[in-house]
Amino acid sequence: MADRVSVRALKRGEASEWSKFVGDIGPKIVGYAHRMGSRDPDEVMGATLEAVARRIGEFEGGAGDLRSFVFSIAHARIVDDLRRNTRRSEVSIENTLDLLEADEPNEETFSDPDLLAALERLPKEQHRMLELRYVVGLSTRETAKAIGKSEVATRVALSRAFAKLKDLLSEQLRAESSEAEVAS
């Protein structure tokens, strides 16, 4: 995890620290970007790490702060990617095939389709907070820093998002049970 990464070593540009940091945080960025709907998570991951490396000299804080910093940049890149994809009117065949393959459910990447479906139905802000807090594993304070809100507001928003996610999952279960009764 990133807590074992020395920020000072990263600033000095030590290769081992950077290898460890990329190996640790890279998959998280890719998964986060994928769940947030990015069409090219690897590109988001590369752009995020590159931005972190450019601004590591200005960064002040510990490992937890570095994770918040990384995912705040990742979120900005995801938003940029989504906007770019919506503006893009023409795409190449290869990208289209990749996107079609990515949209298909995959056992490796989507182990809980009901939960993912419920997350997709949440507002973007609540989805993002739940991702950072429960999936990525940031603390409430780190989540608050990553989304640029106060810790109290983030805590309240997380509670509401969590309750809404439960409601969505309950509705989904209720619908499935009713369908099962009709089918039986």
Binding site for other proteins (CB under 8 A): 10-15, 18-19, 22-23, 26-28, 30-31, 34-35, 46, 49-50, 52-58, 108-112, 115-116, 130, 134-137, 162, 165-166, 169-170, 173-174, 177
Residue closer to other proteins (CB basis): 1 or 153: 1
Residue 110 makes CB contacts below 8 A (sequence gap 6+) with 116
Residue closer to other proteins (CB basis): 129 or 144: 129
Residue closer to other proteins (CB basis): 58 or 104: 58
Output the smallest distance, CB 83 to other proteins, in A: 24
CB 81 within 8 A of CB 40: yes
Length of the chain in terms of residues written: 184
Output the smallest distance, CB 124 to other proteins, in A: 17
Residue 5 makes CB contacts below 8 A (sequence gap 6+) with 17, 20, 21, 24, 63, 66
Output the smallest distance, CB 37 to other proteins, in A: 14
Phi-psi region of 137 (alpha: psi -120 to 50; beta: other; left: phi over 0): left
Residue closer to other proteins (CB basis): 4 or 54: 54
φ, ψ of residue 148 in degrees (nearest 5):
80, 35
